[in-house]
Structure 1
């Protein structure tokens, strides 16, 4: 069987879920290796989430800071190259910014093909600032290598085209079989009012105050934040953290789902599948999945969110939720994603565009010295 080497430094949170599922899905068609680092966010029983056929290789020299310490950078590069020499993969797939940076320095693509998936570009997710400028510059320099950038949606692919030579995208989604099984037997939480919900931790990126303001403009509706946070509008309920089944029951009983994040890196396939009216902010990925007026609404202002909700309370746009459901069946699910990945990897194996020279490494390190990486909060945002 042909070999695929996955490299993932940010092995925690959504990236852990994505990469572990991808590794498992590829085991029937390829010999899969996963080079990873341990993060505080990773489940203690992480090996239980992976197919027994996945070969695990811990990269001990990885640092969360990445590209900040030249001696350690060299150590990481040498360790990654040693793994490549031992595994001899046909495709190397780098996941997230740090692995994408160090991996594209380590792997020249002479005997295999290198792919890189940002899982949300760091310079966009962290917002404006000195570090985002640095990360964008690094993406442009590394984009000159022979690697392929594989993003998770069309709008992110548009960004990728400004940073590198070769791009493609495969839409993300949820496991509909697992979701359907989870929904079976779950009774929806019944509400006596039109209910608008969202979920997650009420951090700045999720714009909880915008959600709060929407609730203020639509006092006749009920708003629910499934998660932790402090929101004070009288028609708002903050549930605190809930187990998956309880959260699904609340979602199942809701009418509309809002995702008003500043920057988002997730799909909303679950709520498309359970046929909720979806309203999202006009950000990368959100606008790729939700087409305004087709399968949901893309909103720019608090007034626009409120206007769409009030209109839905008078006449629910079932044609939008039906289209969203069909899109979940046809596009945004893991079975479709699996087939596309198998085709993608096979195409990569059929080509080899050659390597690049070490001048790229020198340029990156020179620029690296000109930036201060002291802000730990920003460093966490990179993952």
Structure 2
């Protein structure tokens, strides 16, 4: 049987890169040949081991006329050379570049925005521009993969495309790899042994609301004297956050790790894991926390309520509400029965819904569906 040749195009690193790594790891290589065109932001050494071929090109995250033209031209060159059966484009920017690059060549294209750009907090004019771009480019792909029900509802609400072009395939996590991550001692991270550790894994950016995390931390410290706070990640707001930590008097109870190769090791020492996003396409870190038996406190925005059911497998709070966030965390601290209940339920949900192998099966079926239309 001839292998399906899939050309993936990815620009955004972070969550999209982790999605691709897991997708490639569990690919049936007897059935699928994966080729990836990615930006300079990817860890090419790591991902090169997982694909049949890796091509790194320069891509700019923001809209840039000259840079985008060069990226489109380069992608088009490789499309003509590789002659893929399917192009699978990941994230808004790569989705636009790939679909424009394929104009006139007419390959079968699947597009996964990994969270709609128009759902981000930004000026109204910019949101409308992103909506217009998505509507126009939706005409140049066979299927759009939505990573949550909320993402599909957004697409329908904004009339991006018709329902039959959308398909929900929930993200998955590498449960096998998570189980293999060694549990490190708190001493290895220089965290007090008796600390109640509250952490958040994610970029230090406006979206992930690390500022709200610090505000909540200040309140929590007054109620839980042995509380210790952990931000696993880095980003453009790091300087501002470090200043906020100092002004809150939390220097001795707070760590910002910077970028780390394996955030799971940090998750496994947490007593509570948070995701305080102001908008969120999925929130891959949520099932990761849940798999590590870490109770979750997350904001009630976009796709997060599709994953977290309040007071069943985690706690939902309003965004930018540090008092409400602190109360949810203190409840977990004080009520051991409640804590055990949500952790146990969360583990069941993860095992049933978020295994990466299930994602690969669904993606393969989607490939077959798209190709069968071509044969028909």
Partner of 1:167: 166
1:308 aligns with 2:305: no
SS of match in other structure, 1:263: coil
| 1:125-274 correspondence runs (5 A) | 125=120, 127-161=122-156, 162=158, 163-165=160-162, 166-183=165-182, 185-187=183-185, 191-192=193-194, 194-218=196-220, 219-221=222-224, 222-227=227-232, 229-230=241-242, 231-232=245-246, 233-234=248-249, 237-241=253-257, 248=264, 250-265=266-281, 266-267=283-284, 268-274=286-292
Distance 1:58 1:104 in 2: 18
Structure-1 separation of matches of 2:195 and 2:18: 35
Contact 1:109 1:353 in 2 (8 A): no
Cα distance in 1, alignment partners of residues 90 and 354 from structure 2 = 20
Where 1:351 maps in the other structure, the secondary structure is: helix
Partner of 2:47: 49
Shift in alpha-carbon separation, 1:223–1:207, aligned structure 2, 3 A: farther
* Residue matched to 1:371: none
Q: How many residues align?
A: 345
Gaps of 5+ in 1: 355-383
1:276 positional shift: 1.5
Deviations 1:329-353 (A, max 9, x none): 2222322222222222222222249
Report the equivalent of 2:235. Answer: none
Partners of 2:249 and 2:89 lie apart in 1 by 46
CA contact (8 A) 1:256 1:276 kept: yes
> Which fold has the larger relative contact order, with Cα–Cα distance below 8 Å and residues 6 or more apart in sequence?
1
Report the equivalent of 1:29. Answer: 31
- Tell me the residue number matched to 2:348: 326
- 1:209 to partner: Cα distance: 2.9
Q: Which residue of 1, 4, 8 maps to 1:2?
A: 4
RMSD: 3.2
After superposition, the C-alpha distances for 1:244-303 in whole angstroms (9 at most, x for unaligned) are: 599655533332111112123531222101211101112223222212222111111333
Deviation at 1:35? 2.6
Equivalent residue, structure 2, for 1:118: 113
User: Does the 8 Å CA contact 2:9/2:94 hold for their aligned counterparts?
Assistant: yes
- Alignment partner of 1:206: what SS? coil
Distance 1:116 1:249 in 2: 32
Q: What is the CA distance between 1:106 and its match in structure 2?
A: 3.5
Give TM-score scaled by structure 2 length.
0.79
Quote the offset at 1:111 in angstroms.
Answer: 6.0
Q: Give the 3 Å change call, closer, same or farther, for CA 209–346 of structure 1 in structure 2.
A: same
**What is the TM-score of this pair, normalised by structure 1?**
0.78
Rounded Cα–Cα distance in structure 2 between residues aligned with 1:280 and 1:305: 8
In the superposition, relative to structure 1, how do residues 90 and 251 fare at CA in structure 2: closer, same or farther (>3 Å)? Answer: closer
Q: How far, CA to CA, are the matches of 1:168 and 1:250 in structure 2?
A: 34
Question: Which ranges in structure 2 are unaligned for 5 or more consecutive residues?
Answer: 233-237
Aligned residue for 1:6, secondary structure, equals: strand
Equivalent position of 2:308 in the other structure:
290
Q: How many Å separate the matches in 1 of 2:265 and 2:62?
A: 39
- 1:201 and 1:145, CA in 2 relative to 1: closer, same or farther beyond 3 A? closer
For the 8 Å contact 2:11–2:94, the answer to whether it is kept is: yes
Contact kept? 2:216, 2:323, Cα under 8 Å: yes
SS at match of 1:322: helix
Distance in 2 (alpha carbons) for counterparts of 1:235 and 1:220: 14
CA distance in 1, matches of 2:257, 2:295: 23
1:303-348: CA deviations, max 9, x gaps? 3323322322332322211111112222223222222222222222
CA distance in 2, matches of 1:334, 1:7: 20
